[in-house]
Amino acid sequence: MTQAATALTRLSKILDLKPGDMAAVMGAGGKATVTKRLVVEYVEDGTPVLVTGTTNLQSLEDWSGPALLLSEAEREKAGDAARQWAARGAVVWVEKKLPKNLFLGISVEQVERLHAMSGKNVLIVKTDGARKRLIKAPAEKEPVIPRGVTHCLLVLGLSAIGQSAGPDIVFRFETSCRIAGFEEGQAIEAHHLAALAAHPESYPARLPTGARRILYLSHADSPNRLRLAGEVWSAVPEGSFDMCVAGDSVEGLFYVVGEKK
């Protein structure tokens, strides 16, 4: 990938995430921001979209665009929720409010029921946590992916490259060290992100057969970061992902780094 790569502005089009699809978002370094970007795009297009999680979600206070928070008290009203979903355009469904500006997600079974009745809507599901770190390896039981997922979007933060490896930027640090091959204090390199993305003990083996697999490298806000995205993708083994996208989710600029890897 060169510095002259063309910037695209519609992530939903790049991912080919259409009405009736369900995307599982996982990883670290920008899951919430990329989800917000997708919501904005669907609201602009007039496509109903529901956001939820099988794990905790961050505070929704700064979300732009219409959003309906369905609380714990309404969790049994799936039929009503689906109708509101279609009518309001964008819905955020969580179980209840938690301390520290977090929200409890809903059960896998409930997500599957919502998807079954989704019709012409898009469903986006956060499937693991990272506590705002930049990169991570999954825990033994992560990600928690519902049946019927059509797209799996693994997010890793390019801004980790060049920084010293430590628990402040790397989630599940000991596991990440073992999988990626770095030690505490060592400078993180592009091939480390590739290992976190594609190691046999990492995400690919946990993704459902038939789902489209996308590696999303966030924080691609400079020519150097785009170059690093190309280095990450070059180090990913064949057969791991269907596509790699580098993006600046805040500015809404996205680059296709490669396909069918």
Tens digits of residue pLDDT in 143-173: 999 999 999 999 999 999 999 999 999 999 9
Residue 243: exposure state from Cβ atoms within 10 A (0-12, 13-18, ≥19)? buried
Residue 3 is predicted with a pLDDT of 44
Strands (E), 76-197: 90-93, 96-98, 102-104, 122-126, 135-136, 151-157, 170-171
Q: Which domains does the chain have, with CATH numbers?
A: 11-259 (3.40.50)
Q: Which residue from 168, 261, 167 is spatially nearest to 217, judged by alpha carbons? A: 261
Residue 29 is predicted with a pLDDT of 97
Cα–Cα distance measured from residue 198 to residue 8, given in angstroms and rounded to the nearest whole number: 25
Question: β-pairing, 102-104 with 57-58?
Answer: antiparallel
Phi-psi region of 12 (alpha: psi -120 to 50; beta: other; left: phi over 0): alpha
Residue 39: exposure state from Cβ atoms within 10 A (0-12, 13-18, ≥19)? buried
Report field, pTM of the whole predicted structure over 0.85: yes
Task: Output the six-digit token pair for 30.
Answer: 């920008």
- pLDDT of 221-241, one tens digit each? 999 999 999 999 999 999 999
Cα–Cα distance measured from residue 183 to residue 144, given in angstroms and rounded to the nearest whole number: 28
For the chain, which residues score pLDDT lower than 70?
Answer: 1-4, 59-89, 261
Sign of the four-CA dihedral 249, 255, 259, 261: negative
Q: What are phi and psi of 125, to 5 degrees?
A: -125, 120
Residue 144 is predicted with a pLDDT of 98
Q: What are phi and psi of 90, to 5 degrees?
A: -135, 125
Residue 237, SS3?
coil
Q: What are phi and psi of 228, to 5 degrees?
A: -65, -35
- pLDDT of 16-29, one tens digit each? 999 999 999 999 99
